[in-house]
Structure 1
């Protein structure tokens, strides 16, 4: 592995230091809304990062920064649009959004912007021409890392199932296509449909169980969201831990608990950091500062070599990760 210092984050930290003087002069309380795709443990970690950043800004500036976390029950564009409209009606200083379907929310987003409310995307690429700041990682790189690692584990041959998340979500769609593109490099790997979990762990478990039952010769599994604990549970219940190799996504503790016995490794986004920098970007914009088009929070590669360290990071609320961005790594393949 090699260390990966993310230039955009370093630049953003420098801007934040300069912005402190602005905030002290303004002395205004602020509220920022976080709107994820749905209720999910991964988004809870985003909220932790957002709350940590709000607490830090409040402490440093003397102005109260409040986070209003609003999670739709399911990953549905209609529900998310309703949540966005309700959030905008409270006249916050900014809204950070992980879109279920950007095109389906575009009109609502533009209406919110017309009200003078800053909108920032997290865990999603910025659509061309939108002008929206995106906080997240390179989703293609993340999925390629996972797929190449799985190919190595199965000797570059055999049947691999790839489960989709919420197909309309831009980050999930990009990861899914990157999985397929990476696996296409290996002529002796057969890719099969791994189901669709729509960002739901229980759905992931039931879909994976069906795939395992229908494919007793399955060699490996990949997924596109933070539902890996559901797939791991299905593999374990089928008695195929170690037989079916699984490289997962993300760093939730329920996913980490399956490493290394059921999940070999996970290529993770950093949800706490995404929450933190989303708030920082909204705060800077609310004070009239330009913000970067993209903040790359990087990718963490987690396996048995660093699992104890990562469990400690996650169970302690992510504060170590926010304070030590040098932990962000990529695997040497």
Structure 2
């Protein structure tokens, strides 16, 4: 009887959302908290916020997004501890720095809180901290796929602009790219920082000092947008091969304008949406996917932009 009531409540919540578009009440009473490593300044995470909000509405659960305002991982560790102290039904979190975050995440699991790792980290690390599963993009594999494509398109010597050097798994994108090209990564991976003016100046300086570079890889809008500005300033926009991870308004415009050859969409909407749905079904019915979920990579080119452009920065 209880199961039937829960099923009816879930169906009602989904139907109400579909019919009215309004936020559904938390009929089941679950509370899920997503903790990310992203600073407030990184607008890419708006898609994550939209993903958990929509999932919460559709399954009738309460969801909340928390992050360290400056992106400090030590701050993030404290936020996870605070989230666990509120005893939610589940925590969804990135694993930006395994050494710093494994303690608080494992402690939450030991407390009896279900945890899903998303976006950053690896399936192996998720298993080690006791999480239910990992939802995200396999970073090295995505970088390798990017490198294979770049190699086919003529790239031989590259610059990888890494704005998240403190997150080792993100750097695996650069490493996979280099391996696919068959070259040493070496100094080709730049620690760009996150300040747009500084990134632009560093890219300009690197390209001036290394005129044989014929390809650029950026790891998201934080590094892509200033790199676009750098290429426009030095006259190389459209003349140097340019691939990027993730999407955003300026990236989409640059793909349309033939400045960026392609973007790699890791589908952050799914990284946020799926864990909420999975946790709700786990809590209510005891069902769980048997494998981790790869949300990407998917290449976005100029001829496939219509749907992406419509929802870029919102759901894509």
Q: Structure 1 residues 190 and 37, CA, compared in 2 at 3 Å: closer, same or farther?
A: closer
Partner Cα distance (2:189, 2:79) in 1: 31
Structure-1 residue corresponding to 2:35: 35
Q: Secondary structure at the match of 2:128?
A: coil
Structure-2 residue corresponding to 1:220: 215
Structure-1 residue corresponding to 2:190: 195
Q: Secondary structure at the match of 1:69?
A: strand
Kindly indicate whether the alpha-carbon contact (under 8 Å) linking 1:22 and 1:287 is maintained by their aligned counterparts in 2: no
Q: How many matched pairs?
A: 290
1:209 partnered with 2:204: yes
Kindly indicate whether the alpha-carbon contact (under 8 Å) linking 1:160 and 1:192 is maintained by their aligned counterparts in 2: no
Structure-2 residue corresponding to 1:306: 304
Kindly indicate whether the alpha-carbon contact (under 8 Å) linking 2:244 and 2:260 is maintained by their aligned counterparts in 1: yes
Query: Which of the pair has the greater relative contact order for Cα pairs under 8 Å at 6+ separation?
Result: 1
**Structure 1, unaligned runs of 5 or more:** 1-17, 59-64, 322-333
Structure-2 residue corresponding to 1:135: 135
Alignment deviations for residues 262-288 of structure 1 (CA, whole Å, 9 cap, x no partner): 211111100111110021122233336
Structure-2 residue corresponding to 1:103: 99
Deviates more, 1:84-93 or 1:281-290: 281-290
Following TM superposition, by how much is the alpha carbon of 1:22 offset from its aligned partner in structure 2, in angstroms? 8.3
Kindly indicate whether the alpha-carbon contact (under 8 Å) linking 1:75 and 1:166 is maintained by their aligned counterparts in 2: no
Kindly indicate whether the alpha-carbon contact (under 8 Å) linking 2:159 and 2:215 is maintained by their aligned counterparts in 1: yes
Q: Secondary structure at the match of 1:305?
A: helix
1:274 partnered with 2:271: yes
Following TM superposition, by how much is the alpha carbon of 1:249 offset from its aligned partner in structure 2, in angstroms? 0.5
1:150 partnered with 2:150: yes
Alignment deviations for residues 198-256 of structure 1 (CA, whole Å, 9 cap, x no partner): 56655543432332232234211113344322222222222210222110001222321
Alignment deviations for residues 156-211 of structure 1 (CA, whole Å, 9 cap, x no partner): 43x31122342342530322221121121x6xx99742412456655543432332
Partner Cα distance (1:268, 1:19) in 2: 39
Kindly indicate whether the alpha-carbon contact (under 8 Å) linking 2:33 and 2:91 is maintained by their aligned counterparts in 1: yes
The normalised TM-score by structure 2 is 0.81
1:171 partnered with 2:166: no
Structure-1 residue corresponding to 2:59: 57
Partner Cα distance (2:195, 2:300) in 1: 22
Alignment deviations for residues 68-111 of structure 1 (CA, whole Å, 9 cap, x no partner): 11121233321111221222232222111112202211111111
Partner Cα distance (2:44, 2:57) in 1: 20
Kindly indicate whether the alpha-carbon contact (under 8 Å) linking 1:146 and 1:266 is maintained by their aligned counterparts in 2: no
Partner Cα distance (2:228, 2:174) in 1: 18
Kindly indicate whether the alpha-carbon contact (under 8 Å) linking 2:106 and 2:129 is maintained by their aligned counterparts in 1: no
Structure-2 residue corresponding to 1:297: 295
1:82 partnered with 2:89: no
Superposed CA RMSD in Å reads 2.8
Compare the two structures and name the one with the higher helix fraction: 2
Q: Structure 1 residues 23 and 139, CA, compared in 2 at 3 Å: closer, same or farther?
A: farther
Alignment deviations for residues 118-159 of structure 1 (CA, whole Å, 9 cap, x no partner): 111111322153342100123233212222222233x243x3
The normalised TM-score by structure 1 is 0.77
Partner Cα distance (1:129, 1:162) in 2: 30
